[in-house]
């Protein structure tokens, strides 16, 4: 080697240590033994290295894995059951049954009048078709009080769904309505929006 060539800083260091005898403490051991290494490890580390069975995919497991998820899942189930029970008993359905037809009645205040919307849906083929007389009046607060009446008539046809609109000359908070046909009567009270 010449002076011009640079010498490595560790050129004198023998990496393979050929002078060390086999089996001595100085010989390099390239074998890896996990058991020997874990003998002196703390219990938490040993628990990490225990082989667990792989978790199978499940739908319910992640939903109830811990307490907050369990509570949220239970609340969702209770809400669904409550909505189902309320709808079965008719608390969420604003429709009425009249002569084989299902009616939804709504009202809206507009410039001193009330616009009434009646949506008719036939339940089956035997539903009533024909003239329906409607009488609308404001709900009275006292028995001796006189109240005006508004009469209107609509014709149910053979269509499965129909929507009827008419204006009643009342701007009351609550209205009473009577529907009359050849097959029966229906009396109801409702609050327009």
pLDDT of 28-61, one tens digit each?
A: 555 667 777 788 888 888 888 777 766 677 888 8
Asked if the model's pLDDT at residue 142 lies above 60, the reply is yes
In angstroms, the Cα distances linking 110 to 36, 116, 163, 170, 190 are 87, 10, 19, 10, 16
What is the C-alpha separation between 117 and 152, in angstroms, rounded? 13
Count Cβ atoms below 10 Å from residue 76 Cβ, excluding itself.
Answer: 11
160-172 pLDDT, tens digit per residue, is: 899 999 998 888 8
Rg of the chain over CA atoms, in angstroms? 43
In angstroms, the Cα distances linking 167 to 33, 67, 78, 107 are 91, 56, 42, 9
Highest mean pLDDT pick, 54-68, 116-130, 132-146? 116-130
CB-CB contact of 105 with 121 (8 Å): no
58-110 pLDDT, tens digit per residue, is: 888 888 889 999 999 999 999 999 999 988 887 776 778 888 888 888 889 88
Asked if the model's pLDDT at residue 22 lies above 60, the reply is no
Q: Looking up tokens 């009577």, which residue turns up?
A: 178
Question: What is the maximum span of the chain, computed from C-alpha positions, in angstroms?
Answer: 129
Task: Catalogue all structural domains in the chain, each as residue range(s) with its CATH number.
Answer: 95-190 (2.60.40.150)
Q: Looking up tokens 């204006």, which residue turns up?
A: 167
In angstroms, the Cα distances linking 80 to 60, 73, 93 are 17, 11, 16
């Amino acid at each position: 080697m010449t002076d011009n060539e640079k010498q490595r800083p560790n050129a004198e260091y023998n990496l393979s240590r050929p002078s060390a005898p086999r089996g001595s403490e100085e010989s390099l051991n390239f074998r890896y033994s996990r058991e020997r290494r874990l003998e002196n490890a703390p219990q938490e580390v040993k628990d990490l290295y225990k082989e667990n069975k792989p978790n199978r995919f499940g739908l319910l497991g992640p939903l109830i894995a811990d307490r907050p998820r369990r509570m949220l899942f239970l609340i969702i189930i209770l809400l669904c059951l409550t909505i189902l029970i309320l709808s079965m008993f008719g608390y969420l359905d604003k429709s009425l049954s009249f002569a084989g037809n299902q009616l939804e009645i709504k009202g809206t205040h507009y410039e001193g009048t009330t616009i009434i919307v009646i949506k008719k849906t036939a339940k089956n083929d035997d539903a009533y078709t024909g003239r329906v007389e409607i009488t609308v009046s404001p709900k009275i607060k006292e028995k001796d009080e006189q109240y005006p009446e508004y009469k209107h008539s609509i014709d149910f046809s053979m269509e499965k769904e129909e929507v009827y609109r008419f204006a009643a000359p009342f701007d009351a908070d609550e209205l009473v309505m009577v529907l009359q046909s050849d097959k029966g009567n229906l009396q109801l009270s409702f609050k327009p929006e």
